[in-house]
Amino acid sequence: MRAAVLRDGRMVYRDDVPEPVPGPGQVLVGVKACGICGSDLHFAAHGDEVVEMTAQVSAGAGGMAVDLNSDVFMGHEFSAEVLEAGPDTDTHPPGTPVTSLPLLLSAGGVEPIVYSNSTIGGYAERMLLSAPLLMPIPNGLDLKHAALTEPMAVGLHAVNKSNIQPGETALVLGCGPIGIAIVASLRARGVENIVAADFSPKRRELATAMGAHQTVDAAQGSPFDTVKPAVVFEAVGVPGIIDDVLRRARPGTRLVVAGVCMQPDTVHPFFAIAKEINVQFVLAYNPEEFGDSLRALAEGEIDVTPLITGEVGLEGVGQAFDDLADPERHCKILVTP
Ligand SMILES: [Zn+2]
């Protein structure tokens, strides 16, 4: 079958990938749409660092190492349609539109559907999912929108972790897909003052479309000069930004770090100590939040239409990875196999 795979740092098209065969408890699905995630771009460019750092944090926990000298399957933001159940597997009838936590259960254990030499992800015609994890897509929700369940769940999780109350001011630093998902989730929660900062005019526009009440051009000075947030969401992920927030934030601020910085970084603990700043790092979401995210999309509480800025077939994935480097052009590109 057809798929796009990572080979030598580039996404390449293949039409000779062996057809996946569902085992017990697994379901073969046809991919309808799969979003390209910033973490995929990062893995394509710096896969060796990711593999090395992941090995450090998961030492002793097992898990399958990724061999960058072989093709790597990616794509964890998908919607799909049930095609066929594995042996002795009860599941939804063929044709049912579904999404799922990006995990594949097998006799060997649980494998994340994220970067793998063997487990096929959403940049393919067909893939395997786990019957117990399938979530039917309700309300006739557009399957392209349903593919954003996963990235929007990331925003919901960050907001849940912040425990923000509607009357508190939120400042979101960085309006890439994670920052935008945070903005949308804050708005859906009823937060009355959401401020979003970014250098890119296009991304600030997007933040407004998704619910920000005010935007700040980061090139025009620090947002802290004009905004006194109770909760700061850091969704930039570059060295120095955490320390800058600690220096500028007011006493008692809660800082939620959602940006993924892979380099070492320096902070002055004194800034945080002097102001008793609470720092919470966040990653991904729990299964309940994933379900809540799907429900919010299906019930129209969050409309992701403005986020989808492009659509490509499997042959176009390599070009789409290049195009996503320009924040003025793109937020989320969907791969529709
Ligand atoms: Zn993602």
How many Å lie between the centroid of ligand 1 and the Cα of residue 77?
6
How many Å lie between the centroid of ligand 1 and the Cα of residue 128?
18
Q: What is the pLDDT of residue 62?
A: 47
190-200: pLDDT as tens digits = 999 999 999 99
Contact 320, 314 (CB under 8 A): no
How many Å lie between the centroid of ligand 1 and the Cα of residue 121?
12
Query: Which residues of the chain are under the pLDDT cut of 50?
Result: 60-62
What gap in Å lies between CA 15 and CA 25, rounded to an integer? Answer: 27
How many Å lie between the centroid of ligand 1 and the Cα of residue 155?
11
DSSP strand pairing (308-312 vs 332-335): parallel
DSSP lists the bridge partners of residue 27 as: 85, 129
- Mapped onto helix, strand or coil, the DSSP state of residue 157 is helix
Domains of the chain: 3-148+304-335 (3.90.180.10), 151-281 (3.40.50.720)
How many Å lie between the centroid of ligand 1 and the Cα of residue 170?
23
How many Å lie between the centroid of ligand 1 and the Cα of residue 218?
25
How many Å lie between the centroid of ligand 1 and the Cα of residue 178?
9
How many Å lie between the centroid of ligand 1 and the Cα of residue 29?
20
Nearest to 154 by CA among 237, 224, 222, 72: 237
How many Å lie between the centroid of ligand 1 and the Cα of residue 274?
35
In the chain, where does DSSP find H-type helix? 38-57, 143-146, 149-162, 177-189, 201-209, 241-248, 269-274, 287-298, 317-323
Q: Which two tokens stand for residue 186?
A: 């804050």
- Fill in the amino acid letter for 76: H
Q: What is the pLDDT of residue 315?
A: 98
Nearest to 267 by CA among 232, 241, 249: 241
How many Å lie between the centroid of ligand 1 and the Cα of residue 40?
8
308-328: pLDDT as tens digits = 999 999 999 999 999 998 888
Q: Which two tokens stand for residue 285?
A: 């979401």
How many Å lie between the centroid of ligand 1 and the Cα of residue 44?
14
How many Å lie between the centroid of ligand 1 and the Cα of residue 214?
26
How many Å lie between the centroid of ligand 1 and the Cα of residue 151?
5
254-293: pLDDT as tens digits = 999 999 998 999 999 999 999 999 999 999 999 999 999 9
Q: What is the pLDDT of residue 59?
A: 57
How many Å lie between the centroid of ligand 1 and the Cα of residue 177?
9
